[in-house]
Amino acid sequence: MSKKVLITPKSFGTYKAKAYPLLQEQGYEIIENTLGRTMSEQDILDVAAADVVGIIVGVDPLPASVLEKCKDLKAVSKYGVGMDNIDLEKAKDLGIKVKNAVGTNNISVAEQAIALMFSISRNIPSIAAGVKKGGWDRVIGMEVTGKKLGLLGGGQIGKEVAKRARGLMMEVTIYDPYFNDDSFLKEYGINRCFDFNELLGNSDILSLHVPVTPETKGIMSKDAFARMKPSALLINTSRGELVDEDALYEALINKKIAGAAQDVFSCEPPSKDEKLLQVDNFILTPHIGAFTREAVENMVMVSTKNLLEMLA
Ligand code: NAD
């Protein structure tokens, strides 16, 4: 039987000297993504349909139609956490094991959320770009100390953001109906709220830390923005699909909220004429939340070990 594994994430190569021997010792032949970009469904089928038994996958698509055609596939190891690019139901039906690399990048993403919070509250990207063009224009900022930070989602990343925000002397409130760690709230002096509309109305800064589900897709809707303070800032390091981007554009232009900073977008990269990119108080970084040396090394090693365990 063939023992080929496909590795799709571009950043995997940075630490391949540590990971490849683990796979090769077990007799696996490695197929790399040599395209220099995220693989398409067809790219994956071209190399994996015939005889690949395991895939370490980044954000590349693994819908039912691809999983069904990869006839030898036994295991998918997610390089990271968000599994929205994998049809989990179909994988289960087909007996394909799937596991994500929990706890590998939560600190990096939390730090990115905090970085975006300061970037937008002090308008750093736009004014620093102005200085490089010969300008010296100042835009008045907002302190975060004492401000109310609302967190949608109190999982691995939300909790790390919460801890850091407490260190910045912010008042932190988590809205997460499935949250069940009261000792965490007590230890860090964090509030909990059970009404998302209340969180929207009270937060000076709202940061999103939920997966995309039927419940959360488009949760930042026109109605949600209308409930926020005009001085409020939105931070999204989770997924673009959580935000109705037309509604966000309207909210920024009509000053329903004061700014938004995202690390994710519905279409990555966005098209060049994307209207949000023309808005000064909108920041977008190219999905770098988990792109630190530390998180990449963790993701490489954990996703490799997870794949080996699932295939054993
Ligand atoms: P997690 O599973 O640990 O936490 C998610 C939390 O959301 C859970 O506590 C869950 O109870 C809560 N939740 C689910 N549905 C909810 C709802 N309707 N309302 C409120 N809360 C709800 O996940 P995580 O590791 O913290 O990741 C959070 C998000 O960050 C994911 O979308 C993931 O894809 C994204 N992410 C982004 C990057 C990046 O590079 N920017 C990297 C890693 C993860």
pLDDT tens digits for 53-110? 999 999 999 999 999 999 999 999 999 988 999 999 999 999 999 999 999 999 999 9
Residue ranges lining ligand 1, Cβ < 6 Å: 80-82, 105-106, 109, 152-158, 175-179, 209-211, 213, 215-216, 237-239, 263-264, 287, 289-290
pLDDT at residue 279, as a whole number: 96
What is the pTM assigned to this prediction? 0.93
pLDDT at 133 exceeding the cut of 70: yes
pLDDT tens digits, one per residue of 252-266: 999 999 999 999 999
Domains in the chain, CATH or no CATH each = 4-104+293-311 (3.40.50.720), 106-284 (3.40.50.720)
pLDDT tens digits, one per residue of 184-193: 999 999 999 9
- H-assigned helices in the chain: 16-25, 41-48, 64-69, 88-93, 106-121, 124-132, 156-167, 182-188, 196-202, 222-227, 245-253, 293-311
Total Cβ atoms within 10 A of residue 189: 10
- Which of 175, 122, 125 minimizes the C-alpha distance to 148? 175
Q: Of the residues 38, 176, 243, 283, which should be mutated to test ligand 1's pocket, given the most ligand atoms within 8 Å of the CB?
A: 176
Task: Count the residues in the chain.
Answer: 312
Q: Could you tell me the distance, in angstroms and rounded to a whole number, from the CA of residue 31 to the centre of ligand 1?
A: 30
pLDDT > 70 fraction of the chain, expressed in percent and rounded: 99
